[in-house]
Amino acid sequence: MKIEQKNHINLQFLSEPSDVNFGGKVHGGTMMKWIDQAAYACAVQWSESYCVTVYVGGIRFFNPVQIGYLVKLEARIIYTGKTSMHIAVDAFAKQVGKEKFTKCTHCIIVFVALDENNKPKEVPAFIPETEKEIAMRDYAVKLVDLRRSIEEEMRPYINN
Structure confidence by residue, pLDDT tens digits, 87-142: 999 999 999 999 999 999 999 999 999 999 999 999 999 999 999 999 999 999 99
| Residue 87 covered by a domain | yes
Say how many domains are in the chain.
1
| Residue 147 covered by a domain | no
| Residue 2 covered by a domain | no
Phi, psi of 152 (to 5 degrees): -65, -40
Domain of 24, CATH number, reads: 3.10.129.10
d(CA 31, CA 34): 5
**pTM, entire model:** 0.89
| Residue 5 pLDDT exceeds 70 | no
**Domain carrying residue 52:** 8-126
Cα torsion 31, 72, 40, 83: sign = negative
d(CA 95, CA 159): 47
pLDDT of residue 66: 94
d(CA 26, CA 49): 31
| Residue 157 pLDDT exceeds 90 | no
